[in-house]
Amino acid sequence: MCLQGLPSPFLRCPSQRLLDRVVRRYAEVVDAGSIFMDHFTDRDKLRLLYTLAVNAHPIILQIFPGAEGWPLPKYLGSCGRFLISTSTKPLQEFYDAPPEQAADVAYQLLGVLESLRSNDLNYFFYFTHVDADMFGIFDNGHLFIRDASALGVIDKQEGSQAAFGTGENEDIFSCLVSDCQVQLSSCDTVSEKQNLVLVCQQLLPRLLQGKFPSPVQEKIDSALSLCSKNASTDMEVLGATNLLKDILRPLRTCDPRFAYRYPDCKYNDKF
């Protein structure tokens, strides 16, 4: 309801720093990555804008690559509405997984959400909605975001143009989100608990319900109950999910099924 232009969650709260990153890292041009962008033609600009309008997922994979530690699969290429990236199994295939595997997936999922909330680049990524198809697991057991089309980004370092822009001297990206006519409401209304509440409501119960012995299961259910309530404060939700991670961590096993952290888990408590 806040958008007058194209309804792209990724462009809901743009900053100049974020838009610069999009342009510099857009891979579908001759001189991708160049600080000069001499070959960034009008056709390239239109193709970029069209991709952002239709589905920002391939753009997000390019500007926040997994090789730099972001929880996203490798981008291999795209053409129109088609995207090629590395393959993963959808999260729903793990709903009936053994307890130790369910604990591992849930623990990773909470870790991914933490990296979206707190990272070195000071970007806050938030989901407008979640479902099991948005997350996938590689053959080595590592969990990633397989569909980033519902991700929005808030720049905690620079703030958002949409939150306090004047409406003057609009560039083409600003026009894309606001249609150069109205100002968007403040992005400060997006709370840090949003991702956690959605996941606690929609995904974690299906992964963890009825999987563990009674004392442990009761603690898990209690933490899920608190972090799934919209009425809970940010601190309450963060505290509940941190408690849930502490419960899940020792429930994971160290064996070859989890190749993404094996055999490191034998020698380092970090894994």
pLDDT tens column, 149-185: 899 999 998 876 554 444 444 444 455 444 554 444 5
Choice among 47-56, 181-190, 228-237 with the minimum mean pLDDT: 181-190
From 243, 255, 249, select the one nearest 269 (Cα to Cα): 249
Q: What's the pTM value of the predicted model, to 2 decimals?
A: 0.85
Mean pLDDT value across residues 6-24: 81
More confident position, 29 or 117? 117
pLDDT tens for each residue of 54-106: 888 999 999 999 999 999 988 887 766 677 777 678 999 999 999 999 999 99
From 140, 143, 99, select the one nearest 250 (Cα to Cα): 99
H helix intervals, the chain: 16-25, 42-54, 57-63, 99-117, 161-164, 172-178, 194-202, 204-208, 214-227, 234-248, 264-267
- Tell me what pLDDT residue 19 has: 86
Q: What angle do CA 66, 70, 73 make, to 5 degrees?
A: 40
Mean pLDDT value across residues 131-158: 92
- 8 A C-beta contact, residue 143 and residue 170: no
From 144, 201, 142, 157, select the one nearest 18 (Cα to Cα): 157
**Alpha-carbon gap, residue 55 to 41, rounded angstroms:** 21
